Structure 1
Amino acid sequence: MPLDPMSDRHDLARITAALLDAARKAGATSADAMAVAGTSVAIDVRDGRLEQAERSEGIDIGLRVMIGQRQAAVGASDARDITIERMAERAVAMAREAPEDRYIGLADPSQLASDLDMARLELYDATAEPDPSALESDARAAEEAAMNVDGVTQVQGTSAAYSHHKIHMAASNGFDAGYMRTGRNISCVAISGSGATMQRDWDADTRVFQADLRDPADIGRIAAERAVAMQGARKIASGHFPILFDERIATTLIGNLMNAVNGLAVARGSSFLRDAMGKQVLPAGMSLVEEPHRKRIGGSRLFDAEGIATQRRAIVEDGVLQSWTLDLASSRQLGLTTTANASRGTSSAPSPSAGNLRLTAGTASRADLIAQMGTGLLVTSFIGATINPNTGDYSRGASGFWVENGEIQFPVHEVTVAGNLREMLLNLVAANDGREDLSRVVPSLLVDGMTIAGA
């Protein structure tokens, strides 16, 4: 019988309570527990035929125990009572041997979230799980649309997937809450040309609600058109030029910024922004805000992995850095208050991580920025990265399109773009094409002056 994680077959509240009870009996002074039950289905199509059908069902449970200022975390994929008992005994034994860490510890009960109604964020689509044949139909539609685009020689792969999960967390400080979530995805990778002229590109869509998913044929067509547009790609001469980061990859720049304001990196002194609090890190007028309560967005949460209420916060306001991204341990190490950004897996301790983000949009379209840049490079994809977290030195392999006189001239590949992130971030110009359906709403970004290493 297929597992339905939304049924009572796996009572996750009972399981997490049993984990905490076992931890107490084994000698833990405090503990927290997590349980995740779910189903995932994925269908892959290639050359008009079903290539792979995969279904996974199961449960993962995790327990973190503390003995004074020592901790250990363990996980399992078996929720039997004997497994829970052995997990607790093993975790306590490990914690007794662990080094002391004065920054660990559960939240004070006064810090815990009181609003636990995750249903209002609409992270769970009650629509019935799609039949595998429906997923296959979506994948076939995307592949067929891609193959109908002139210049496409093959479709490397097309996939349609669905997942639903139930998550529950509990801790010995009294926190006890859970929620449900679903996901639906279609992706397509198209190839144009052959041999040395082969070019590859993709498109995809991921949603919480199946009804919000884009047309599969649209996804296949766009993937194909992108691959065909790269035909005739060539190298370019080295130089110093403006770089426009396409919306698809602009979020990586903001990801670099978020890595630098992560509390763990700051506490360790391994961030190029470790001395930047209260200083200008983005252009005046540009802000970066975390929005954890957006409906139908997979990164939304009312509480973090330590049970603390999330809230909208300005990370950067009017270009000035306002906040690190903190969990309890990193906030204690820095002498600050947690920003409710704890994240964890079932077998790991919490660590800070940001969720939904929004960067201030500009007034110009991407086409306007292409015209504005005059001569430069529009980057649409990256390969590899060399980034020094201490200095912000940045170097990435890139491909995209060469721009002259404000117009796209020809596709470009096998180049490297380089600069320093602190300088790059201070010189951003944002377009207005950020996608509202994504967890991170980041538009195309123009950086005025980077080094291009070409032929």
Structure 2
Amino acid sequence: MTRPLDTLTDALLSAARKAGADAADALAVAGSATEIDVRNGTLEQAERSEGTDIGLRVFVGRRTAVVSASDTRDETLAAMAERAVAMAREAPEDPYAGLADPDQLARDWDADALEMCDPAPEPAPAALQEDACAAEAAALGVAGIGQVQAASAGYGRRQVHLATSNGFSGGYMRSSRSVSCVAIAGEGLAMERDYDGDGRTFQSDLRAPEEIGRSAAERALERLNPRKPKTGAYPVLFDERIAGALIGHLIAAANGAAVARGASWLRDALGQEVLPAELSLIEDPHRPRISGSRPFDAEGLPTQRRALVENGVLTGYTLDLANARKLDMAPTGNAARGTSGGPSPSTWNLELTQGSQSRADLIAEMGTGLIVTSMIGATINPNTGDYSRGAAGLWVENGVPAYAVSGVTIAGNLRDMLRRMTPANDARPWLSRVVPSLLVEGLTLAGE
């Protein structure tokens, strides 16, 4: 019989106390996932996973250790606690280690209001296969598509429970539903591929698989017969599909762990302008039906809406307890962890201010430049923000997309790039990271 997760975490804390821990926290995660892949209209692969994982973090003074297991028997819990305490006694002291103060802990949250779990029944494998087949058929139905590399559909459900020895105990359920398709256009060495996909918390919100297949096909066709542009400085439009990666570099630099190590080009930038004055970057972990929503973080602190960047100015870092203590700041409720490791800072749902112009408007204003639709590799200097990435997309001439481009390298400095951004108004509001297409002037492109 499967044990309730709250009883598992309570049992882990009790075992830790018996083993000699001064304090502890315990995390239990139970879930199931089904993934269906099809090829040529028939089932290619079906995967089903189910399990419960548990993790225990103990403190002996300022020394700490973490252990994990997937066996929930009482004797395993006792052995975990004994091993964790023995490991902690041998670990070096960490002056910043420790649980939250009781008055910092989350209280009176409403997980139901966040709609993190779809109450609809789990779809049968046959229903997932039908969606994957529909996406594949739609892609193959577009003229010029010779094959589909992958068409998949999946469903997952996960329950999480966290408990600490100083009084916190809380949990929630989360579900996810997805469909994706990768289409291939062209033949031989001239083949090009692209993809589309959708993932939602509620199955009823999912885009139609036929739409996903057609979109993947059209994107693959756009990439046929690519060229290399001439080396030079041009405006670059980061397509909405990949614009979040550009903002991701800002988020990584504002991560408290990087700042505490001194390995961030934003380490001395609090109160400084890092985006255009009309733009803000808002974190809101309380958006209903969004994958990054949660009522509390992995240390039991309440999550909260906050401005990471407000009117262009960097207002704070992303902090868990330990890194907040290192920087002598207040934690922001952004601790994330799995069962086999300790907490680290992570952002939840983010939204960048959208612009007043459409993507097409920005393309028309570019004159000559590059629309980036995919990126590979990355060379980012974390201390200076120097940026270099391989890219592919569409070349624009006289404000009109003219031909496909691949094998080009984009270079610049993130601090300068981010302050020269112009956003479009095409962000998808259901994503956890809501970022529109972004136009950046004067980037260096290395082509022919």
Question: Does the TM-score normalized on the shorter chain lie above 0.5?
Answer: yes
Which amino acid counterpart does residue 193 of structure 2 have in structure 1? R
2:268 is the alignment partner of 1:275: yes
2:431 is the alignment partner of 1:438: yes
1:220 maps to 213
How far, CA to CA, are the matches of 1:146 and 1:115 in structure 2? 48
How far apart are 1:372 and its partner, in Å? 1.1
* Helix, strand or coil at the partner of 2:214: helix
Which amino acid counterpart does residue 179 of structure 2 have in structure 1? I
2:287 maps to 294
How far apart are 1:352 and its partner, in Å? 0.5
How far, CA to CA, are the matches of 1:344 and 1:316 in structure 2? 25
1:333 maps to 326
Matches within 5 A, 1:346-357: 346-357=339-350
Unmatched tracts of structure 1, length 5 or more: 1-7
1:363 maps to 356
2:39 is the alignment partner of 1:49: no
* Helix, strand or coil at the partner of 2:129: helix
For residue 199 of structure 1, the aligned residue among 176, 181, 192 is 192
Tell me, yes or no, if the aligned pair for 1:115 and 1:302 is still in contact at 8 Å: no
How far, CA to CA, are the matches of 1:290 and 1:10 in structure 2? 35
For residue 14 of structure 2, the aligned residue among 12, 17, 21 is 21
Which amino acid counterpart does residue 207 of structure 1 have in structure 2? R
How far, CA to CA, are the matches of 1:201 and 1:115 in structure 2? 45
CA deviations 1:11-60 (Å, max 9, x no partner) are 10000000000111111100000001111000000121110000001000
How far apart are 1:318 and its partner, in Å? 0.6
Unmatched tracts of structure 2, length 5 or more: none
Which amino acid counterpart does residue 136 of structure 2 have in structure 1? E
How far, CA to CA, are the matches of 1:215 and 1:192 in structure 2? 22
How far, CA to CA, are the matches of 1:365 and 1:432 in structure 2? 5
1:260 maps to 253
2:148 is the alignment partner of 1:155: yes
1:5 maps to none
2:438 is the alignment partner of 1:452: no
Which amino acid counterpart does residue 245 of structure 1 have in structure 2? F
Tell me, yes or no, if the aligned pair for 1:161 and 1:186 is still in contact at 8 Å: yes
2:402 maps to 409
For residue 383 of structure 1, the aligned residue among 373, 376, 382 is 376
2:4 maps to 11
How far, CA to CA, are the matches of 2:340 and 2:235 in structure 1? 44
* Helix, strand or coil at the partner of 1:39: strand
Tell me how many residue pairs correspond in the alignment: 448
Which amino acid counterpart does residue 251 of structure 1 have in structure 2? G
How far, CA to CA, are the matches of 2:367 and 2:69 in structure 1? 56
* Helix, strand or coil at the partner of 2:260: helix
Matches within 5 A, 1:119-268: 119-268=112-261
Which amino acid counterpart does residue 20 of structure 1 have in structure 2? L
Structure 2 length as normaliser, TM-score? Answer: 0.99
1:30 maps to 23
How far apart are 1:299 and its partner, in Å? 0.4
1:321 maps to 314
How far apart are 1:360 and its partner, in Å? 0.4
1:67 maps to 60
CA deviations 1:356-390 (Å, max 9, x no partner) are 00100000000011011111000000011111111
How far, CA to CA, are the matches of 1:93 and 1:240 in structure 2? 59
CA deviations 1:87-107 (Å, max 9, x no partner) are 111111111111111011101
How far apart are 1:117 and its partner, in Å? 2.4
1:107 maps to 100
CA deviations 1:183-202 (Å, max 9, x no partner) are 00000000001222110100
How far apart are 1:253 and its partner, in Å? 0.8
How far apart are 1:115 and its partner, in Å? 2.3
How far apart are 1:10 and its partner, in Å? 2.9
* Helix, strand or coil at the partner of 2:121: coil
How far, CA to CA, are the matches of 1:413 and 1:428 in structure 2? 23
How far apart are 1:119 and its partner, in Å? 1.5
1:393 maps to 386
Which amino acid counterpart does residue 82 of structure 2 have in structure 1? E
Which amino acid counterpart does residue 433 of structure 1 have in structure 2? D
Which of structure 1's runs of 4+ aligned residues deviate more than 6 A?
none
How far, CA to CA, are the matches of 1:154 and 1:117 in structure 2? 47
Structure 1 length as normaliser, TM-score? Answer: 0.98
How far, CA to CA, are the matches of 1:420 and 1:12 in structure 2? 47
How far, CA to CA, are the matches of 1:94 and 1:118 in structure 2? 35
Which amino acid counterpart does residue 23 of structure 2 have in structure 1? S
Q: Cα RMSD (Å) of the superposition?
A: 0.8
Which amino acid counterpart does residue 431 of structure 2 have in structure 1? L
Tell me, yes or no, if the aligned pair for 1:241 and 1:451 is still in contact at 8 Å: yes
Which amino acid counterpart does residue 383 of structure 2 have in structure 1? N
Which amino acid counterpart does residue 268 of structure 1 have in structure 2? R
* Helix, strand or coil at the partner of 1:58: strand
* Helix, strand or coil at the partner of 2:128: helix
How far, CA to CA, are the matches of 1:250 and 1:187 in structure 2? 20
Which shows bigger deviation, 112-121 or 317-326? 112-121
How far, CA to CA, are the matches of 1:194 and 1:100 in structure 2? 60
How far, CA to CA, are the matches of 2:106 and 2:295 in structure 1? 8
